[in-house]
Amino acid sequence: MDTTLDDPLVGQTLDGRYRIDARIAAGGMATVYRAVDTRLDRVLALKVMHPALAADTAFVDRFIREAKSVARLAHPNVVAVFDQGTDGPYTYLAMEYVSGCTLRDVLRERGALQPRAALDILEPVLAALGAAHRAGFVHRDMKPENVLIGDDGRVKVADFGLVRSVDSVTHTTGSVLGTVSYLAPEQIENGVADTRVDVYACGVVLYEMLTGSKPHTGGTAAQVLYQHLHEDVPPPSAAVPGLPAALDGLVAQAAARNPELRPHDAAALLGVTLDARARLSDAELDAVPPQARAEERSAAEDRTSVIPRPVAAQPPLHHTSRLATPPIPPPSGPSGPSAGQPRSRRGLFLVVAGVLLALGLGTGVWYINSGQFTKVPNLLGKTEAQAKSELSAAGLGVKRVDRKFSDAFDRGTVMNTDPQGGKRIRGNGAVVLTISRGPEVVVVPDVKGRPLEEAKAELTKSGLAPGLVTQAFSQDVAQGSVIGTNPGGGQKRAPDTAVALVVSKGRPVQVPNVAGRPVDQARTALQDLGLKVETAAEEVNSPSPAGTVANQSVGAGAQAAAGDTVTLTVSKGPRQLPVPNVTGQDVDAARKTLEAAGFKVKVERPFLSFSNTVEAQSVPGGQNAPEGGTIILRTKGL
């Protein structure tokens, strides 16, 4: 069915800029359209909040929070946000358009995926979420609908509509936002949402990719919620016999009901995932799953919604949680190639470890080879980069990177290691680094009057994140320097809090009206005001004489900043149009004929003449005259 039928926005232009061509998808909070940015001439996706929700400030704030959050995540596996705005009843986000399909589309069409394909999708998803977690955000609504697969094979995570700052996550009461099938037990039971709820959802998504079905299903949302709380996610090999134990263990770790048993964030899960992949042979990775499509299910299971949490408290998670299968065991035996495996396992591990170190992510990869031991260097007070370099030089790796608050260690420096400096560790072992996040409370520095790049550097140095940058005119602050911040200087905030900056466009320049003036004169007048001037490539016909300005890109009376560009379009003069022959006609009829042809009309009557018949016209019929020019009609005399 054509989803664009009867949609009032299709064919409309929002904010005078975004032309909506077609509807892509509709959800519980917003509708996504394919649109064209007419200013930059590029296709993008426009996410428009349902007008009924626009009156709810909480939903609007969440919508704007998504724009600010994703704008900070410059990551190749995150759908980029370009703009945010409001046009009448419509609040929207302008986002990157990914031509392709969602993971949900793939699962509906193909059912279970080969392990290699499932991991090829999971790993970039974890890289995207890892970047979000490291920036201090939790997605909170990971599901196949929010995983986009482009025509070129790129995988991107979309819809950070429920994103929350890690530091602002609190316990909620009464209800929880999310999608039933992917909610972690602690979200349902306590309303808790930290980075580990995304890890749990990724475990459920991996199970679904490997089996073609969800681990928990039921006739109602309440039945599914109950299973999340009281039943472990089963091993995928129970549904698809022959799947390797490493994949069962990976699902069990990610989807453990007890959050303490999961990897602490997506970056840590990525390390575990790469470790699991390295243990699988090509035959195991390329095993063909049973040809079965994903099961039919209620659409409500896949929709983001407000879900009431159970009123009666359930038994604590630590009394009921257990792993469906043991965690992924460490590699055993020699580190060289195993029988029947064409690739060098050691070489693959080294490549994986190198990539993870370059990204600053932790990994659970290690080797047991010659039995030699190495002393862990003393890394306290070193920067993260210095610590990794020294560990690499000692032949050691990084197992994972934790980050904690500290008043004693500068932000970004090592405050602890496990094992500690001086301790002996098996050769080629891995060390846990704990990096200081600085004090738990940061004072926002006063950067008013500082150039933008200096202000950003000062905020970063203070442990805050430069946020959304907007511009405004200022009589006092130099162009390119900061007028103010939100929150303002002197206020206290948690580390990594985004600080919005307002940057000066300088004093406003009143743009004069140069239409009809010779181009050289118009250019001089604008340049004298500090404006840049460009001339349009094509000239146009207009009532203005040839060689004068037909129109200007910034209208007369508008305000511009010094250095802004005004484009002038040069007139070719009016068009030459054929003049109708109206001699002998009634004056009123002749006037109508000439005006319809694009001319003005003036009637001249001889003295004491009462005739209403045209005796002559100033431009004979059949000849050309300038469009908008005046044709004089003369009536008969006495």
> Which positions are catalytic?
141
Q: Are 124 and 103 in contact (CB under 8 A)?
A: no
* Angle at 157 (CA atoms; ends 154, 159), nearest 5 degrees: 140
Name the helix (H) or strand (E) containing 276.
helix 266-279
Q: Are 500 and 470 in contact (CB under 8 A)?
A: yes
Q: Are 92 and 14 in contact (CB under 8 A)?
A: yes
Q: Which amino acid is at 149?
A: I
Phi, psi (5° rounding) for residue 465? -115, 125
Site of tokens 């039943």: 231
Contacts with 350 (C-beta within 8 Å, 6 or more apart), sequence order = none
Name the helix (H) or strand (E) containing 535.
strand 532-535
Give the C-alpha separation, 269 to 500, whole Å: 32
Give the C-alpha separation, 67 to 85, whole Å: 10
Give the C-alpha separation, 587 to 635, whole Å: 8
Give the C-alpha separation, 557 to 223, whole Å: 64
Contacts with 474 (C-beta within 8 Å, 6 or more apart), sequence order = 483, 504, 505, 506, 507
DSSP 232-249: PPPPGGGTSTT--HHHHH
Query: 551-559 contacts: CB < 8 A, separation 24 or more?
Result: 551/515, 552/511, 552/513, 552/514, 552/515, 552/522, 554/511, 555/511, 556/511, 556/512, 556/513, 556/514, 556/515, 557/510, 557/511, 557/513, 558/510, 558/511, 559/473, 559/508, 559/509, 559/510, 559/511
64: alpha, beta or left? (left if phi > 0; alpha if psi -120 to 50): alpha
- How many alpha carbons fall within 13 Å on the CB side of residue 203? 34
Give the C-alpha separation, 182 to 266, whole Å: 15
How large is the C-alpha radius of gyration of the chain?
Answer: 34
Strands 492-493 and 442-443: antiparallel
- How many alpha carbons fall within 13 Å on the CB side of residue 7? 21
Strands (E), 390-477: 397-404, 414-418, 424-426, 430-436, 442-443, 465-472
Q: Are 330 and 278 in contact (CB under 8 A)?
A: no
Q: Are 356 and 271 in contact (CB under 8 A)?
A: yes
